[in-house]
Amino acid sequence: MCGINGIFAFHPSAAAPSRDEAVRIRDAMQARGPDGFGLWSNASGRCVLAHRRLSFLDLSERAAQPMLSTDGKLAVTYNGEIYNFPALREELEAQGVVFRTTSDTEALMHLYARDGQAMVRKLRGMFTFGIWDETRQGLFLARDPYGIKPLYIANDGWTLRFASQVRALLAGGAVSRDPEGAGVVGFHLWGSVPEPFTLYRDIRALPAGHTQWIDRAGPRAPQPYIHLASILADGARAPLPAAQIAPEVRDAVKDSVAAHLLADVEVGVFLSAGVDSGAMLGLMRDAGCSNATAITLSFAEFRGTSEDEAPLAALVAQKYGAKHIVRTVGEAEFRADLPAILAAMDQPSMDGVNTWFVAKAAREAGLKAAISGLGGDELLAGYASFRDMPRWRRRFGALAAVPGLGALARGVMNAALPGFVRANPKALGMLEYAGSWEGAYLLRRGLFLPHELPALMDRDFVAEGMRRLRPLTQLSGTLSPDPHSNNGRVCVLESEHYMRNQLLRDADWAGMAHSLEIRTPLVDIALLRRLAPAIAALKPGMGKAALAAAPSIALPAQIVSRAKTGFGVPTRAWMAAAARTNREDLAETKGLTSRRWSRKVLETFVPPAGTAQAGSPAL
């Protein structure tokens, strides 16, 4: 994977971009690309592109970036992998295009020259890129459909800057650090900063599945080229018969795994004791990747318990002939790494420590790329939310539709039983939010609920942040058009919010901190298109059972029947020990999922002074 950035002084009166600033932004992303770096500016000096390289296809210098077309009319800086590159190259060569390299970067330029901005509809992969068009004197930006790869933009009305990291843009020295209330409030609601917001008012994410064009007239509004909800709506119109679901899952996921192995370097795998990662290893073997390197984390605190992944992971590794590495992580390493973990987070996250350590272990093993089973629960209805949210809507939806009932009940209970309300903040929320899908999702994934925020921050700051964020409106917007099935609605909400803002972002920063590319075959737009008719028809447990049976040698029964535990790290015990050492009252922390941990993470980005309300209860 790579780090990309650029500066375009689009306004005629703007000063020419500073190459020194471009270099500062670029080199703040050194971990993203330790294999090489580049800098380019166009003839007028109005656009500067830069790049840090982590090479996977065509490791030679001829594939270095920014890359120029042979006629000098196009320049590209690109971060990602295009998994259908071999087919695209064959198509382009059949039309007379001559390639100078074997890299997918070059294919982007040829596709743009042929199809213009519509090129993105041909791409299967994870990507962000910027293409400078000298003929049109404009910059074209694009981001993949799921938002696997990040791209952040700062526009001051004169000059537009973009980069793979928020902190890199700040490192350039020309972007304001004024706080964005929607980002701070959003982090308290979700435990991650919801896109397109960041913690800074002048920096926004280019939305997933969008492109943007910038020329002398200024930036156009980002344009969507794909909607997950539309794909699921189309699939729901012709749901797959139950007997066809397992064969379709097998064929579709096998195809995706094979595509994600495209590389000129070894691709390993993160292996837990779960269905998703085990199926990835089995299908890698089926695709010809024998003796793959599989990385499993182990913790002394979990030994002898159901949370210990190592024994069952070893069984799976042996079954599929993998080279198995079990990496033990302890409290001392966690505490030693914690400053680096917080420094590597591009935006605050209440999670990601697990990915940090497994990526660290993979890099220690000499890997530059690893397959992850991330996305299986969102795609195949593996989360409890696929059962809970429809049930909440049935049980409490009618009551929640009564205006003011939820707030009234909360006020009465707060006066009569304040301890119950504090201990069960979401219980009464059923009467306030379960009347809509977006409200039910807020209950399911929310870290804090909106009415709790004034106790944590200045009331005016909260009000302004909520006004800008509009969380329920933002959630409901992703459900347009209606996916036409309960599974489809939950799939969209989980994919476009929790997965994108939390899991994928954590995979990016934690992997890139160790110069490791994390590939996610279960987060793939071609796969979603194939399985959309199956998603609408899934019954509880059916999707994961089909995935477990997808490899030619099915996963062991112990894996399939194992209770879901998640990809855990014993941070509860570690943080409690740290609290005792530091004489802080953290005894009741629940690790990375706790409110207290999220507040401590946020304080490394935003000092509490100015946002904490005087006299408010400490967390």
Report pLDDT digits (tens) over 172-183.
Answer: 999 999 999 999
For residue 159, give the nearest of 45, 5, 3, 16 by alpha carbon. 16
Amino acid type, 160: L
State whether 400 and 413 are in the same domain.
yes
Q: What is the pLDDT of residue 617?
A: 28
155 and 38 both lie in a single domain: yes
The pair of three-digit structure tokens given for residue 232, joined into one six-digit string: 């699921």
Decide if 611 is inside a domain.
no
For residues 443-448, give the mean pLDDT: 92
Angle at 537 between CA 442 and CA 526, to 5 degrees: 80
More confident residue, 575 or 172: 172
Q: Could you give the percent of the chain with pLDDT greater than 90?
A: 74
pLDDT at 2: 85
Whole-angstrom Cα distance, residue 439 to residue 453? 17
Domain count, the chain: 4
Average pLDDT over residues 289-294: 93
Q: Worst-scoring range by mean pLDDT, 49-63, 464-478, 563-577?
A: 563-577
Phi and psi at 430, nearest 5°, equal -55, -35
Alpha helices in 401-470 (DSSP H): 405-416, 418-423, 430-433, 437-445, 459-469
Amino acid at 357: F
The distance in angstroms from the start CA to the end CA of the chain is: 38
As a whole number of angstroms, the distance between CA 130 and CA 112 comes to: 11
What would the mean pLDDT of 411-420 be, rounded to a whole number?
A: 65
User: 349 with 500: CB under 8 angstroms?
Assistant: no
Q: Any idea which of 192-201, 220-229, 401-410, 518-527 has the lowest mean pLDDT? A: 401-410
Residue with tokens 């890359």: 67
Please calculate the CA angle 253-255-257 and round it to the nearest 5 degrees. 70
For the cut 50, the answer to whether the pLDDT of residue 105 exceeds it is yes
pLDDT at 390: 96
| Residue 614 domain-assigned (yes or no) | no
pLDDT at 59: 60
pLDDT of 605 = 84
DSSP reduced 3-state for 263: coil
Residue of higher predicted confidence among 400 and 139: 139
- 284-321 burial by CB neighbour count: b if 16+ within 10 A, else e? bbbbebeebbbbbbbbebbeeeeebbbebbbbbbebbe
Structure tokens at 213: 């064009």
Instruction: Mean pLDDT check: name the lowest of 45-49, 84-88, 152-156, 328-332.
Output: 328-332
Domain boundary among 210, 226, 242: 226
Domain span holding position 331: 229-382+487-565
**One domain for residues 172 and 291:** no
What pLDDT, on a 0 to 100 scale, did the predictor assign at position 263?
83
Q: What is the pLDDT of residue 306?
A: 74
Q: What is the pLDDT of residue 346?
A: 93
Residue 604 has pLDDT above 90, yes or no: no
Backbone angles phi, psi at 602, to 5 degrees: -60, -35
Residue 90 is part of a domain; what is its CATH number? 3.60.20.10
What share of the chain in percent tops pLDDT 70? 88
Kind plus residue range of the DSSP H or E element containing 456: none
Specify whether 478 is located in the same domain as 548: no
- Based on the fold, state whether residues 79 and 165 are members of the same structural domain: yes
- Please state the rounded mean pLDDT for residues 273-279: 95
Are 498 and 480 part of one and the same domain? no
Q: How confident is the model at residue 534 (pLDDT cuts 50, 70, 90)?
A: very high
- Domain assignment of residue 617, yes or no: no
Q: Are residues 8 and 110 in the same domain?
A: yes
Q: Give the Cα separation of 340 and 355 in Å (integer).
A: 13
Q: By C-alpha distance, which of 13, 15, 9, 17 is closest to 39?
A: 17
Please say if the pLDDT value at position 428 is more than 80.
no
- Going by their DSSP bridges, the two strands 67-68 and 74-82 should be labelled as antiparallel
Q: Which of 45, 63, 143 is CA-nearest to residue 102?
A: 63
How deeply is 201 buried, as exposed, middle or buried, from its count of CB atoms within 10 A (0-12, 13-18, 19+)?
A: middle
Average pLDDT (211-222) is: 97
How far is residue 310's CA from residue 294's CA, in Å, rounded to a whole number? 11
* 493 has a pLDDT exceeding 70: yes
490 pLDDT above the threshold of 90: yes
293-298 and 323-328 beta bridge pairing: parallel
Placement of tokens 């198509």 in the chain: 91
Q: How confident is the model at residue 81 (pLDDT cuts 50, 70, 90)?
A: very high
Q: Band of the pLDDT at 409, cuts 50, 70, 90? A: low
Residue 416 banded pLDDT, cuts 50, 70, 90: low
List all residues 6 or more positions away from 553 whose beta carbon is below 8 Å from its beta carbon: 282, 285, 319, 320
Name 203's bridge partners.
154
Question: Of 226, 246, 268, which residue sits at a domain end?
Answer: 226
What three-state secondary structure class fits 73?
coil
For residue 390, whether the previous peptide bond is cis, meaning omega lies within 30 degrees of 0, is: no
* Rounded (5°) CA angle 562-566-572: 120
**Is residue 615 domain-resident?**
no
Give yes or no: residues 204 and 164 share one domain.
yes
Q: Confidence class of residue 265 from pLDDT cuts 50, 70 and 90?
A: confident
- Predicted confidence band of residue 55 (pLDDT cuts 50, 70, 90): low
Q: Which CA distances in Å does 128 have to 86, 109, 443, 528? A: 19, 13, 32, 20
pLDDT on residue 585 = 38
Task: Please list, in sequence order, all residues whose beta carbon lies within 8 angstroms of the beta carbon of residue 163, skipping any fewer than 6 positions away.
Answer: 3, 4, 5, 6, 25, 29, 151, 152, 169
Residues in the chain: 619
- The band of 375, judged by pLDDT with boundaries at 50, 70 and 90, is very high
Euclidean distance between CA atoms 81 and 85, whole angstroms: 9
Boundary residue ending a domain (448, 465, 484): 484
Average pLDDT, the chain: 89
Q: Are 438 and 551 in a shared domain?
A: no
pLDDT of residue 531: 98
Residue 584 pLDDT > 60: no
Q: Establish if 17 belongs to a structural domain.
A: yes
pLDDT band at 587 (very low <50, low <70, confident <90, very high): very low
SS3 (DSSP) at 65: coil
Round to whole Å and give the CA distance between 358 and 361.
5
State residue 95 phi and psi, 5-degree precision: -95, 10
For residues 218 and 265, state if they share a domain.
Answer: no
pLDDT tens digits, one per residue of 302-357: 787 777 889 999 999 999 999 999 999 998 999 899 999 999 999 999 888 999 99
3-state secondary structure 188-247: HHHCECCCCCCCECCEEECCCCEEEEEECCEECCCEECCCHHHHHHHHHCCCCCHHHHHH
pLDDT of residue 402: 77
Is residue 194 within 8 Å of 242, Cβ to Cβ? Answer: no
Segment 31-60 shows an average pLDDT of 84
Taking CA atoms, 425 is separated from 409, 413, 432, in Å, by 12, 11, 12
Q: Looking at residue 368, what is its pLDDT?
A: 93
Mean pLDDT of 39-47: 96
Q: Which residues of 348-365 are buried (b: 16+ CB within 10 A; e: fewer)?
A: bbbbbbbbbbbbbbbbeb
What is this structure's pTM?
A: 0.92
Mean pLDDT of the 431-457 span: 91
> Is residue 243 in a domain?
yes
The pLDDT value given to residue 561: 83
Which CA distances in Å does 571 have to 9, 329, 518, 591, 594?
46, 11, 23, 5, 10
Confidence at residue 564, expressed as pLDDT on a 0 to 100 scale: 67
Judge whether 247 lies within some domain. yes
| Closest among 467, 453, 465, 450 to 612, alpha carbons compared | 453
For CA atoms 522, 523, 528, 529, give the dihedral sign. Answer: negative
Which of 208-222, 306-320, 513-527 has the least mean pLDDT?
306-320
Pair (73, 188) in one structural domain:
yes
Same domain, yes or no, for 159 and 113? yes
CA 506 to chain centre: 6
pLDDT at 568: 61
**pLDDT at 240 exceeding the cut of 50:** yes
Q: Is residue 121 part of a domain?
A: yes
- What distance in Å separates the CA atoms of residue 171 and residue 18, rounded to the nearest whole number? 13
